[in-house]
Amino acid sequence: MSTKTDVSHPKTPAWRLFFPLAALHAAVMVPLSLLAFYHGAPLGLLDSPAAHGRELLFGFALAVIAGYLLGPMPHRRLLGMVVLWLAARGGGLVWPEALPVLLADGLFALLLAWRLVPRFLAAKKWRNRVLSPLLGLLCLLAVASLVGRLVQQDALPSALMHHAVLWLVLLMALMGGRVLAPAINGHLMASRRQTGAGVQPRLEAALIILLVATPLLAPWPATAGLAAPLTAAAGLLVLWRLWRWGPWACRRRPDLLGLLMGYAWLGAGLLLAARTLWLGLPLNGVLHAFTVGALGTLASGIMLRQAILRAKGRPEREPVLPLLALLFTLAAVLRLMAFPAGGAWLSLLWASALVWSVAWLLAAWRLVVWSRRGSNRPRI
């Protein structure tokens, strides 16, 4: 009976489709954004910085979340979600205000929320249940941001983008910790026969409280000053958590060092954001510490690590992983340096975009390679 069910309703791991597509999307969309902003390319989906930010968050990041959390799905249902995602991405470049494009984009986000939100509501620990409203909120923000495209007002998407990036910081802090803590513990047990600091639940609880307060206060001028000390405290806690994991014990594990570098970008970004809020300056440029440094490094490392482990490979032997961390760090530094650099700002923007694209093309290539190795393994 079970054999017939498996044959008639085959399941495919969501990451196998969404991870390579997300990597290719990230590689292509950032250079296209610069072409649209500064060189007049007629690309409706990327016609403003807010629109570019929306595509990175609700196109790329939601695809990564889908690949990581959806798990195995019936092949037709998974293909349906992929088609919706592709229709929103491709159609938006040509006709961003078209109703079918908007419906595809919104329906993908709502279906993702429908699949993921109930799963984490059943968690026993409140720290795990936080993921349920957080994922639901990100998906709802994706739908709400489509209103900005309809009315063609940059103010609404810009405020929403700042809000969404800061919620994404909380998600990266939680999910990054859940990946790093067991990975480092496993390495320490295998190499030294000792346990590491683990998830550090009390510290994680404090981070959740601070990182919930930050997006509620930081995007609005009236409360930005109140957010500054909370954001600084969150940044210091992120770095303290990282220190307690013992990065020096991972010096022979470049794959783990790469993830730790991505987590360090969360801490550095929060400290930069705190300084910016304290000075009363806009957050726009500083947010790239999260979207380029942290998101690029953590997402690529986690995606490729999952593909390698599913193929029964060893992540520490994958030479691209440390290279990706270095490339995303370089891309983030160049992006943060761009606008204060005077006349060289556009050259630095293009340099950052090209480094980012090379990194994601490398990630896409290795994802496809490991996906094929995993699918070719004999099943018993």
Q: What is the CATH number of the domain that holds 191?
A: 1.20.210.10
Element (H, E) at 73: strand 72-74
pLDDT at 3: 41
Q: How many domains does the chain have?
A: 1
pLDDT at 60: 96
First and final C-alpha spacing in the chain:
18
Q: How many CA atoms lie within 13 A of 366 on its CB side?
A: 24
Cα(299)–Cα(315) distance, integer angstroms? 15
For 130-173, the DSSP string reads THHHHHHHHHHHHHHHHHHHHHT-SHHHHHHHHHHHHHHHHHHH
pTM: 0.92
380: in domain: no
2: in domain: no
Cα(105)–Cα(87) distance, integer angstroms? 8
251: in domain: yes
Q: How far is CA 66 from CA 168, 218, 240, in A?
A: 14, 27, 30
- The DSSP code for 248 is G
361: in domain: yes
Any residues with CB less than 8 A from the CB of 185 and at least 6 apart, and which? 195, 196, 198
User: If phi over 0 gives left and psi between -120 and 50 gives alpha, with beta otherwise, what is residue 177?
Assistant: alpha
4: in domain: no
pLDDT at 32: 92
137: in domain: yes
pLDDT at 150: 73
3: in domain: no
Per-residue pLDDT of the chain (380 residues; tens, 9 = 90+): 344 444 456 889 999 999 999 999 999 999 999 998 888 887 777 777 778 888 899 999 999 999 999 999 999 999 999 999 999 999 888 888 888 999 999 999 999 999 999 988 887 888 888 999 999 999 999 998 887 677 765 545 677 788 899 999 999 999 999 999 999 999 988 877 777 778 889 999 999 999 999 999 988 888 888 999 999 999 999 999 999 999 998 988 999 999 999 999 999 999 999 999 999 888 888 999 999 999 999 999 999 999 999 999 999 999 999 999 999 999 999 999 998 878 788 999 999 999 999 999 999 999 999 999 877 654 44
With CA atoms as reference, report the closest residue to 46 among 96, 1, 12: 96
In which domain, by residue range, is 175 found? 9-372
93: in domain: yes
pLDDT at 297: 97
